[in-house]
Every structure is written in C-alpha cells, then in structure tokens.
C-alpha cells in the first residue's frame, strides 16, 4: 500500500487521466462518424480536432506518442479514402 500522500496524488492523477482519455476516445469516435456521415468540410474539421486531442493526450503522457501517431495516421487514411481530392 502506498503512503497516504502518494495515494492521494495517484488518485487525483488517475481521475484526470481518465477524463482526458475518455475525451480523446470520444473525439476519435465523432471523427470516424463524421467521415462516413458528414460532408468533407465538416469531416476535415472534426478529424483535425480529434488529432489535436490525441496530441494533447500524448503530450501529457496519458497515451504513448507512437500510439497517438498511429491513431492519427489511421484517421487521416480513412479521411483521404472517403474524400479523395
């Protein structure tokens, strides 16, 4: 069992990390839905905000930077195949 102070800090960080992770997942889900259901302009802005959320999570150390990069790549690939230029 960790010391009392470190347990408090861990709990605080766990809650914050969980919120950020949930927001990131939701942003990615909205982006995927927008790619299939929305016009290209809306899908592009939604994907951009999802990529930003992934970058933010990676910067804070909530997900690994390669994980964020991989997810961003998959989103971009999906967007480009759905809306060829």
- Whether the Cβ atoms of residue 31 and residue 23 lie closer than 8 Å to each other: no
- Whether the Cβ atoms of residue 23 and residue 66 lie closer than 8 Å to each other: no
Full domain range(s) for residue 58 = 4-82
pLDDT above 90: percentage of residues in the chain: 92
pTM of the model: 0.87
Q: Evaluate if residue 24 carries a pLDDT over 90.
A: yes
How many independent structural domains does the chain possess? 1
Instruction: Quote the pLDDT of residue 65.
Output: 97
**Confidence band of 1 (pLDDT split at 50, 70, 90):** low
SS3 28: helix
Convert 43-55 into a string of H (helix), E (strand) and C (coil).
HHHHHHHHHHHHH
CATH number reported for the structural domain that contains residue 62 in this entry: 1.20.58.110
User: What is the average pLDDT score of the chain?
Assistant: 94
- Residues 33-51 have pLDDT tens digits of 999 999 999 999 999 999 9
Report the distance separating Cα 45 and Cα 43, nearest Å: 6
């Amino acid at each position: 069992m960790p010391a009392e102070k470190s347990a408090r800090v861990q709990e605080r960080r766990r809650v914050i990390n969980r919120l950020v992770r949930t927001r990131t997942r939701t942003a990615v889900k909205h982006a995927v839905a927008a790619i299939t259901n929305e016009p290209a302009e809306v899908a592009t802005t939604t994907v951009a905000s999802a990529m930003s959320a992934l970058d933010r999570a990676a910067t804070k150390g909530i997900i690994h930077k390669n994980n964020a990069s991989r997810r961003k790549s998959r989103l971009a690939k999906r967007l480009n195949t759905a809306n060829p230029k």
